[in-house]
Amino acid sequence: KCRTGPLDIVFVIDSSRSVRPFEFETMRRFMMDIIGSLDVGPNATRVGVIQYSSQVQNIFSLKTFFTQADMEKAINNIVPLAQGTMTGLAIQYAMNVAFTTQEGARPLHKKIPRIAIIVTDGRPQDRVTEVATQARNAGIEIYAVGIQRADMNSLRAMASPPLEEHVFLVESFELIQQFGKQFQDKLCGVDMCMEQEHGCQHSCVSTPGSFYCECNPGYRLNVDGKTCSPIDACADGRHGCQHQCVSARGSYSCRCRAGYYLNQDKKSCSMIDYCSFGNHSCQHECVSIPNGHYCRCRSGFTLQPDGRSCRATDLCNGVDHGCEFKCVSTEGSYRCVCPEGQQLQADGKACSKCRAGHVDLVMVIDGSKSVRPQNFELVKQFVNRIVDLLEVSPHGTRVGLVQYSSRVRTEFPLNKYHSADEIKKAVMEVEYMEKGTMTGLALKHMVEHSFSELEGARPLSHNVPRIGLIFTDGRSQDDISEWARRAKESGIVMFAVGVGKAVEEELRAIASEPVEQHFSYSADFTTMTHLVENFKLNICPEEGKGETEMRSPCECEALVQFQTNTVAILQSLTEKNILWARSLARMTARLEDLEKQIANKK
């Protein structure tokens, strides 16, 4: 057996028509004799066989068989191609296919020799010099064996240097078997690891004419090619340890941080449940943390200084409860209540609003330069406070918004949004226009576009009130009288809201009758809150009518309820006073009788 170390050997066999059948049989025997002398196996020498004529055929690759019996069976089943002699094509195939790692060749960094044994009996019909040079440069050692009619110049062009050790010419096919024994000695050579001081730290692997060093499992070869260093199996980051990786001679183990334990997969970690030990003494809940635990109270309770017990929290003082009228604390929670005469809404926080019925409301806001950005944000808040008063829905109140300066822009029409939250979000996203104050142009836009059915206004036949609210902070730069008149003539109830330098004469010209109830003024943007209340008192229409009721139904209902309750309480007190008077009279009479009896006895 050849014991010089592992090799990757590919036989490249000429099966052209010039090779007669009995001659091809001697080539089979030649290959099997060479294979018989090798130590074959997946970690020893690997063997592949290809045959060629005018084309190339892979008989078996370096990864196909690892026993001599399987290789010999495959070699005996070869059917010669019996065509031309394309030796260059065969070398190209060996380089690009047969000696690739995909076909079973070991990677080049392992320094396992790649050997091609070309056996041919004639002159190549294609060029071999250039492709053979490429193969040798790719690390393939080429032995060229010519038989009988082979061309020596072609053999020398293919073989690796030194040529005297890689070129062989056999006179006849009958002599090839005898040549095989000589070739075995040439291929195997001597054990270079035994012939000289190799200096390998772990182990030496002999190759034809040379040797290389290998390291034991768990070590890698250093750059000096002789010494070895332990492999840090954690360094490549593929260990999969959740917490920590501990390297140990080419292997590794996973370890968890303090307070955690390693799971059965030996990679992931789970926190130790200290609460499960049963000694935490927490009144409500125990929460495990690394290296310990802490106690937690249920919602509505506060942890006491002892770190274990809990006491109910006055949530009305400790949280943003959001109650519109009043918050009442309960054990571990709270509830909202409303003033007498109003009902709590479905959200559990708001009280019943003044029901405005079906209203189409378009607000036209001044975005001129005099407003200024910070005040424009206050205007948007003012608009949203008005929206909070309304019950917005597709079949209830619809809201549209228009901004104007030197031009007019519809921010959103009446049919754009169907809930108060959508409208309020859209309002806060409106961008300040700046520039002039064309209030007349804005009124014209409102009449012609904003209250059109195309933009969501309901038909006049539905008797849905149309309300326009104009907000401005200064004198208009165009005439407002004509379009203010047209707006009111078209059935729009007009409200005028002025701030700062707004002109009262213009506000009154815009407002519907009675004017005093349809226009409001505030000297400053920061004191506009009362304007919202004024608007609330005047916007509530009667159900099913197209007229505007100039009072607050909510306020009236509350007043009636208050009056009824007061009368009932007074009647109750009156009845009790009468009973007390009668009782007092009876007691006085008895005292007088007792005094008379005492006097008679004396």
Which CATH number do you get for residue 340? Answer: 2.10.25.10
Q: State whether 388 and 503 are in the same domain.
A: yes
Residue with tokens 């921010």: 411
List the CATH number of the domain containing 489: 3.40.50.410
- Last residue of one domain, picked from the residues 143, 168, 187: 187
Strands (E), 249-291: 251-255, 260-262, 269-271, 285-289
Residue-wise pLDDT for 233-266, tens only, equals 787 777 889 999 988 776 888 999 888 999 999 9
Within a domain: 305: no
User: 88 and 56 share a domain?
Assistant: yes
323-357 tens-digit pLDDT: 877 888 776 678 888 765 456 777 888 776 545 45
> Which of 495, 511, 538 is the C-terminal boundary of a domain?
538
Long-range contacts, 307-310 (Cβ 8 Å, 24+) = 308/280, 308/281, 308/282, 308/283, 309/283, 310/283, 310/284
Question: Of 188, 166, 173, 87, which Cα lies nearest the Cα of 130?
Answer: 87
For position 544, what pLDDT does the model report? 35
Asked if 484 and 492 count as a contact pair (C-beta separation under 8 A), the reply is no
Q: Which residues contact 475 (CB under 8 A, 6 or more apart)?
A: 437, 501, 502, 503, 506
The CA distance from 140 to 133, in Å, is: 10
| Token digits of residue 161 | 């240097």
Same domain membership, residue 467 and residue 384: yes
280 within a domain of the structure (yes/no) = no
Residue type, 411: E
pTM of the model: 0.37
Verify that 42 and 178 share a domain, yes or no: yes
- Please, is 465 exposed, middle or buried when counting C-beta atoms within 10 Å of its C-beta (0-12, 13-18, 19+)? buried
In a domain, 484, yes or no: yes
Domain residues for the domain of 322 are 314-353
Higher-pLDDT residue of 112 and 149 is 112
- Secondary structure (H, E, C), 461-502: HHCCCEEEEEEECCCCCCCCHHHHHHHHHCCEEEEEEEECCC
| Structure confidence at residue 149 as a pLDDT band (50, 70, 90) | confident
- Judged by average pLDDT, the poorest of 5-19, 79-93, 207-221, 557-571 is 557-571
Q: Domain check: are 433 and 342 in the same one?
A: no
Size of the chain in residues? 602
Same domain, 451 and 322: no
Please compute the mean of the pLDDT values over residues 445-473 and round it to a whole number: 91
Residue 153: what pLDDT? Answer: 93
Residue 409: CA count within 13 A, CB half-sphere: 15
Question: For residue 594, is it within any domain?
Answer: no
Question: Residue 448: CB partners within 8 Å, gap ≥ 6?
Answer: none
Give the integer Cα–Cα distance in Å for 244 and 368: 64
Q: Radius of gyration (Cα) for the chain, nearest Å?
A: 52
Residue 146 domain flag:
yes
Q: Are residues 54 and 81 in the same domain?
A: yes
Q: Single out the residue in 128, 161, 187 at which a domain terminates.
A: 187
User: Residues 272, 275, 278, 279: is their CA dihedral positive or negative?
Assistant: positive
Is the CB of residue 434 less than 8 Å from the CB of residue 405?
yes
Rounded to an integer, what distance in angstroms lies between the CA atom of residue 224 and that of residue 11? 34
**What's the structural domain count of the chain?**
3
Predicted confidence band at 573 (pLDDT cuts at 50, 70, 90)? low
- For the chain, first and last CA: distance in Å? 158
Instruction: Judge whether residue 524 has pLDDT over 90.
Output: no
pLDDT digits (tens, 9 = 90+) for 548-571: 333 344 444 444 454 555 545 555
Give SS3 for 278.
Answer: coil
Percent of the chain having pLDDT more than 70? Answer: 82
346/427 same-domain check: no
What local confidence, expressed as pLDDT, does residue 356 receive? 46
428 and 507 housed in the same domain: yes
The pLDDT score that the predictor gives to residue 209 is: 63
SS3 at position 432: coil
Domain membership of residue 230 (yes or no) is no
Residue type, 215: C
Per-residue pLDDT band at 278 (split at 50, 70, 90):
confident
How many helices (H) and strands (E) would you count in the chain?
16, 26
More confident site: 210 or 442? 442
Residue 99 within a domain: yes
- Determine contact, residues 256/262, Cβ cutoff 8 Å: yes
Do residues 310 and 304 touch, judged by C-beta distance below 8 A? yes
366: in domain: yes
Average pLDDT, the chain: 83
pLDDT exceeds cutoff 60 at 183: yes
Tell me, yes or no, whether 369 and 414 share the same domain: yes
Are 400 and 326 in the same domain? no
Whether 246 contacts 253, CB under 8 Å: yes
Query: With 80 as the cut, is the pLDDT of residue 185 above it?
Result: no
Are 340 and 371 found together in one domain?
A: no
Q: Which long-range contacts (CB under 8 A, 24 or more apart) does 67-76 make?
A: 67/40, 68/35, 68/36, 68/40, 71/32, 71/35, 71/40, 71/47, 72/32, 72/35, 74/49, 75/28, 75/31, 75/32, 75/49, 76/28
The single-letter DSSP state of residue 161 is S
State which H helix or E strand residue 416 sits in.
none
